[in-house]
């Protein structure tokens, strides 16, 4: 009796679920959702063409260093790198002396407490310190950025689909709203204080264009600092901050594939050797 009742309840549940599913599907077919500005005008990221892309990608350390310079001189005014330490820069070619100088001269110092008075103060950065946030807290960050909270950039290229291409496209994607968008979606006009960018999911973001003019950063290696070049370079740097062991992972993956191929041939040979007499 209990089993029959349980079966009946389950059948009713499946029946009701089927009706609900059919209603949803039929409504989606007969009354499709109206197109939105985001759906019609959002663009997929353009390829940045970085050397770290692909199965055998490797970091161009000169480019990563240029990207760090862009972050240092432009992006660090608003964005933090809370998961990266100054001493991590050794992995991209800086020596101990250079790292110590960068940490000591960094424009934002580490928050600290005076042991004698207990009052909040600051101290010079050490190589072991992580990059300090440019704002004391989220409230201060919002107050300085039109109530928008600048995201931490440490893992940005891992947090976004096609992250390195996304960062590059976003930085080079600012433009006026197209006339076609305003014609078909008059209510989608970019609000005051925001900036149109078709590579951003909702088309409008609070961050103004950070890279606007050629030579905005004077590269130490003499590379011509066009907006496109600076955007690629900082994308390369943020790819490294998000995945500093990328090259080791690629090498380990390639070695694993080679091992598996060899193992398959060895297993096939063993099989043929063990069962060679069974065919007679």
Binding-site annotation, residues for heme c:
75, 78-79, 207
Q: What are 102's two structure tokens?
A: 């960068």
CB atoms within 10 A of CB 209: 15
- Kindly give the residue spans of alpha helices, DSSP state H, lying in the chain: 2-30, 37-41, 61-73, 96-105, 138-143, 156-159, 163-172, 179-184, 227-242, 246-274
Alpha-carbon distance 81 to 156, whole Å?
10
Q: To the nearest 5 percent, what fractions of the chain are helix, strand and coil?
A: 50, 5, 45
Question: Are the C-beta atoms of residues 195 and 206 closer than 8 Å to each other?
Answer: yes
Question: Are the C-beta atoms of residues 108 and 79 closer than 8 Å to each other?
Answer: no
Which residue positions form the known binding site? 75, 78-79, 207
């Amino acid at each position: 009796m209990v089993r029959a009742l349980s079966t009946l309840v389950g059948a009713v549940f499946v029946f009701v679920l089927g009706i609900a599913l059919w209603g949803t599907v039929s409504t989606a077919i007969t009354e499709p959702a109206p197109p939105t500005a985001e759906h019609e005008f959002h663009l997929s990221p353009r390829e940045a063409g970085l050397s770290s892309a692909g199965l055998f990608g490797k970091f161009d350390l000169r480019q990563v260093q240029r990207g760090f310079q862009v972050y240092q001189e432009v992006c660090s005014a608003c964005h933090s790198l809370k998961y990266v330490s100054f001493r991590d820069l050794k992995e991209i070619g800086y020596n101990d002396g250079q790292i110590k100088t960068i940490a000591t001269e960094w424009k934002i110092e580490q928050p600290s407490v005076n042991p004698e008075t207990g009052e909040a103060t600051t101290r010079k950065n050490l190589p072991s310190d992580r990059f300090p946030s440019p704002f004391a807290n989220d409230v201060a960050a919002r107050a300085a950025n039109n109530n928008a909270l600048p995201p931490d950039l440490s893992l940005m290229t891992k947090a976004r689909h096609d992250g390195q291409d996304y960062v590059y496209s976003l930085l080079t994607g600012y433009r006026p709203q197209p006339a076609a968008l305003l014609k078909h979606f008059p209510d989608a006009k970019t609000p005051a204080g925001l900036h149109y960018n078709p590579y951003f999911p909702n088309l409008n973001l609070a961050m103004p264009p950070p890279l606007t003019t050629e030579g905005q950063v004077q590269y130490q290696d003499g590379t011509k600092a066009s907006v496109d070049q600076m955007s690629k370079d900082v994308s390369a740097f943020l790819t490294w901050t998000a995945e500093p062991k990328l090259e080791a992972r690629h090498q380990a993956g390639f070695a694993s594939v080679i091992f598996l191929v060899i193992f398959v041939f060895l297993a096939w040979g063993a099989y043929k050797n063990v069962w060679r007499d069974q065919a007679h």
